[in-house]
């Protein structure tokens, strides 16, 4: 069995990590969400992303009735 050097293994692992990180950034972009509650029991949930300049932005307004939530999708501001 032929032994490979430590540097060759580390450089191969580093190259693989860089390629996977780049592919993940290109495919997924950056996304975040936020949740806010109002005193009347309304919950506003936003999902934002930076893919295509926020084209996939979604806002949900939910009413809490006891243990159930009724959510509707609304237009993003």
Please list, in sequence order, all residues whose beta carbon lies within 8 angstroms of the beta carbon of residue 60, skipping any fewer than 6 positions away.
44, 45, 46, 47, 71, 72, 73, 74
Q: Would the pTM count as exceeding 0.95?
A: no
Residue 77 pLDDT exceeds 70: no
Judge whether 40 and 20 are in contact, CB under 8 Å.
Answer: no
Residue 1 pLDDT exceeds 70: no
pLDDT band (50, 70, 90) for residue 29: low
Residue 52: predicted pLDDT = 61
Q: Could you report the per-residue pLDDT of 30-61, keeping only the tens digit for each?
A: 667 789 988 888 899 888 776 666 667 888 89
Residue 61: predicted pLDDT = 92
What residue ranges do the domains of the chain occupy? 6-74
> Distance between CA 42 and CA 46 in Å, rounded?
13
């Amino acid at each position: 069995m032929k032994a490979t050097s430590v540097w060759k293994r580390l450089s191969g692992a580093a190259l693989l990590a860089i390629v996977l990180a780049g592919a993940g950034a290109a495919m997924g972009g950056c996304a975040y969400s936020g949740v806010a509650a109002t005193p009347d029991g309304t919950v506003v949930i936003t999902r934002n992303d930076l893919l295509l300049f926020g084209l996939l932005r979604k806002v949900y307004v939910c009413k809490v009735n006891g243990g159930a939530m009724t959510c509707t999708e609304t237009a993003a501001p």
